Structure 1
Amino acid sequence: MGSTHLTSYDTQRGHHKIAEPEASIADPRDAKRYALEETIFRRILTQMVRGAFSLFAIIDVKGRDHFPADGPVVLVANHLNHLDVFPMQLALPRPIFFMGKAELFQNPLVDLVFRNLGGFPVYRGSRDRWALEHARKILENGQVLGIFPEGKRSQGRGMRPGKSGAARLALETHSPIVPMAIDGTQHVFKHFPSRSRITLHIGLPIIPEPGQSPLALTDQVMFSLAALLPYSLRGVYAERPEGF
């Protein structure tokens, strides 16, 4: 794809661009510990989640061999349900460090668990310098950064326009972007005690091109992600233009 090719979605997303970090100020998150690598606590909790999930869901994974065995990766996925992070992690042998909305961390217990699992808060709709710096640390540490570019759940109504933050981080840190399509979490518990089927489809890594614009890369990633989903979930990315 040409580095200067932009689509109509670029205009829609213009107000979502992540600005360059401003001057450093004290941030209360600096007083807390956020995991930057695998921990024993995380391994134990992941196995507990695996056991719990097996009671109400069957997870199918396609394209697992596409995922890099090591090195920094920006993992992007569509967002259907609050539970999406769990099958995503269960599908991969490597730990995923997720960026999540700050509201989720307001409960002290949830905050403790999420931080030890590698999650970290981001204040949406603001210039969250701290979150951007922490995301860079994760990638510079050779880990997997998990991001939902849509910014909020679509709840099965089709993909929303993606924000450019994941692309910007990939360009800045020279990290590949791997799309992961999720289908089925929107139906979890609807037919309980029967188990729901969750399908995760991992796409080929996307390597940022030198000089490629963040918005052009975002479009490339989002159309690649949509192509892994059923047509009904592709939303604004249902029709893929030439060149993607």
Structure 2
Amino acid sequence: MESKTYPFFRAIFRGIFAGLYRWRVIGQENIPDGEGLVLCANHISNWDPILLGCGTHRQVHFMAKAELFRIPVISWLITDFGTFPVKRGAGDRQAIRKSLEIVDEGKVLGIFPEGRRNRSGDGTVGKMLPGAAMIALKSKARVVPVAIIGPYRLFGRVTIIYGKPIDLNEAVAGKENAERTQYAAEIIQHEIQKLLDIHKK
């Protein structure tokens, strides 16, 4: 069930993106209803999670650093939005279990597989961490690659592109178990890069 506050704040931020960043959304039809999905996007700004959620009609659930949940008002708000804590710098099994639970319940999970903001500015996606691929493979959920094209410059143009869903389990069929996650992560990276290359001109 979608949070009561989520649609309200989504509408506010859609107005901000439209007015200040002339945002453009492509491929909204690639996010189907009624199934768990993993949205995997490149990461260029702290605005990215909000943009990723605003571009689709479905509520997107995110991990956030555990420190944010120690701030009372922020903790209440992001928890209501369906965000959950992750301990950075170590494998957080509880966060992984929560991720799988969200997708298994038919909800949408948003992840930035680069792990941190990419400041290169050259339009190249960084190496993908294995977490998103692992969650998609374990849950058997399809992955939607997402490309964010900035920069977030006042009255400039920000574009978000949702690609077609990918079945990673089908894509890695025949691969050795030790290779499956790495190969799946490379597929995610390739698909995001392809969207960037097609739309950045």
Q: 2:77 aligns with which of 100, 109, 113?
A: 113
Which residue of 1 is the match for residue 182 of structure 2? Answer: 215
Inter-partner Cα distance in structure 1 for 2:144 and 2:18? 26
SS at match of 2:23: strand
Inter-partner Cα distance in structure 1 for 2:174 and 2:74? 40
Q: 1:52 to 1:63 in 2, by over 3 A?
A: closer
**Following TM superposition, by how much is the alpha carbon of 1:103 offset from its aligned partner in structure 2, in angstroms?**
3.6
Which residue of 2 is the match for residue 67 of structure 1? Answer: 31
Which residue of 1 is the match for residue 64 of structure 2? Answer: 100
Q: 1:171 aligns with which of 137, 145, 151?
A: 137
- Render the CA deviation track for 1:26-60: whole Å, top value 9, x for unaligned: xxxxxxxxxxx311121222222223333312221
1:187 aligns to 2:152 (yes or no): yes
Matches within 5 A, 1:142-153: 142-153=106-117
User: In percent, how many aligned pairs have the same letter?
Assistant: 33
- Render the CA deviation track for 1:191-232: whole Å, top value 9, x for unaligned: xxxx2211111111110224550110110111111111148x
Q: 1:67 to 1:222 in 2, by over 3 A?
A: same
Q: 1:105 to 1:58 in 2, by over 3 A?
A: farther
Q: What is the TM-score when the length of structure 1 is the normalising length?
A: 0.72
Which residue of 2 is the match for residue 204 of structure 1? Answer: 164
Radius of gyration: which is bigger? 1
Which residue of 2 is the match for residue 130 of structure 1? Answer: 94
Which residue of 2 is the match for residue 240 of structure 1? Answer: none
**Following TM superposition, by how much is the alpha carbon of 1:113 offset from its aligned partner in structure 2, in angstroms?**
1.6
Gaps of 5+ in 2: none
Inter-partner Cα distance in structure 1 for 2:73 and 2:125? 31
| One-letter code aligned to 1:183 | I
| One-letter code aligned to 2:115 | G
| One-letter code aligned to 1:53 | F
Which residue of 2 is the match for residue 48 of structure 1? Answer: 12
Aligned residues: 190
RMSD across aligned C-alpha pairs, in angstroms?
1.9
Q: 1:147 to 1:104 in 2, by over 3 A?
A: same
Q: What is the TM-score when the length of structure 2 is the normalising length?
A: 0.87
* Contact 1:59/1:87, CA 8 A, preserved across alignment: no
User: Mean Cα displacement is larger for which, 154-163 or 66-75?
Assistant: 154-163
| One-letter code aligned to 1:119 | T
SS at match of 1:87: helix
Inter-partner Cα distance in structure 1 for 2:139 and 2:51? 26
Which residue of 2 is the match for residue 23 of structure 1? Answer: none
